[in-house]
């Protein structure tokens, strides 16, 4: 038995699955989903294609599993905020946490929001749609709905999905701009403001526009 095979046999099965998912995410982002083969994923971690198929039946199944893993990790960013009684403060902290996630985990963020791939639906996912402990959009939507129910938002922002997606678009824009700066090299043309400062300003700007009156985050 060669040394590579010996090393493989010493790796727990669940760790092998993680290795495959990490390799797939990197390759999908670098080359595009369509260009990546299961053989390429196997070669990246020093396994045979046959070994990959013991964990995932095909590339689409691998993609869906990767989506589940990344979305669950992303959802955990917000799950700890569910205990906050004031929904405005919950949104404020969630907005900052969203941007911090994108800054700290750029490859994970690129995979979730900036890499073309097969559509992931509730039918192909292990994530419980509508559960704010797992489903990040459900967390956002429920928090916005609570703000509306408590009369915290102006009359023109009473549509839950419209308002939730406005907030999402605002914080996504900060992360996307930061990643574009890293990916295409615009540093010489612009005197960039620190991302943390932009994050703070964007969240405050969005909430100030929505609120019926100035609010510092103290609950009613």
Asked, for residue 16, whether it belongs to a domain, the answer is yes
Asked, for residue 192, whether it belongs to a domain, the answer is yes
Segments of the chain with pLDDT less than 50: 1-7, 9, 215-220
- The pLDDT of residue 57: 93
Question: Residues 176, 168, 200, 91: is their CA dihedral positive or negative?
Answer: negative
- The pLDDT of residue 139: 96
Are residue 18 and residue 76 in the same domain, yes or no? no
Are residue 85 and residue 187 in the same domain, yes or no? yes
Dihedral of the CA atoms 146, 147, 148, 151 (nearest 10)? 120
Are residue 49 and residue 75 in the same domain, yes or no? no
- The pLDDT of residue 181: 81
- The pLDDT of residue 137: 95
Residue numbers of the domain that contains 28: 1-56
- The pLDDT of residue 186: 66
- The pLDDT of residue 117: 85
Please tell me the total count of domains within the chain.
2
In angstroms, rounded to a whole number, what is the distance separating the alpha carbons of residues 186 and 188? Answer: 6
Asked, for residue 4, whether it belongs to a domain, the answer is yes
CATH number, domain containing residue 82: 1.10.357.10
| Residue 36 structure tokens | 């990546």
Are residue 137 and residue 204 in the same domain, yes or no? yes
Are residue 31 and residue 78 in the same domain, yes or no? no
Element (H, E) at 78: helix 59-79
Give yes or no for a contact between 91 and 207, defined as CB atoms under 8 angstroms apart.
Answer: yes
Asked, for residue 61, whether it belongs to a domain, the answer is no
Final residue belonging to a domain, choices 34, 56, 78: 56
Asked, for residue 216, whether it belongs to a domain, the answer is no
- The pLDDT of residue 84: 96
């Amino acid at each position: 038995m060669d040394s590579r095979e010996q090393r493989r046999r010493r790796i727990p099965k669940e760790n092998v699955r993680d290795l495959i998912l990490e390799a797939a995410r990197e390759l999908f982002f670098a080359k595009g989903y369509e260009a990546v083969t299961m053989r390429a994923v196997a070669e990246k971690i020093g396994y045979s294609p046959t070994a990959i198929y013991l964990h995932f039946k095909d590339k689409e199944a691998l993609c869906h599993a990767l989506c589940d893993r990344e979305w669950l990790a992303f959802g955990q960013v917000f799950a700890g905020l569910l205990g906050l009684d004031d929904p405005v403060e919950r949104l404020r902290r969630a907005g900052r946490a969203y941007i911090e996630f994108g800054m700290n985990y750029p490859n994970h963020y690129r995979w979730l929001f900036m890499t073309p791939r097969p559509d992931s639906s509730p039918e192909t996912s292990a994530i419980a749609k509508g559960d704010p402990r797992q489903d990040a959009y459900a967390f956002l939507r429920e928090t916005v709905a609570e703000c509306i129910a408590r009369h915290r938002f102006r009359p023109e922002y009473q549509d839950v999905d419209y308002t939730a997606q406005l907030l999402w678009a605002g914080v996504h824009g900060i992360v996307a701009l930061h990643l574009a700066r890293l990916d295409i090299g615009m540093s010489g043309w612009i005197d960039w403001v620190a991302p943390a400062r932009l994050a703070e300003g964007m969240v405050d700007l969005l909430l100030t526009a929505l609120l019926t009156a100035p609010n510092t985050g103290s609950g009613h």
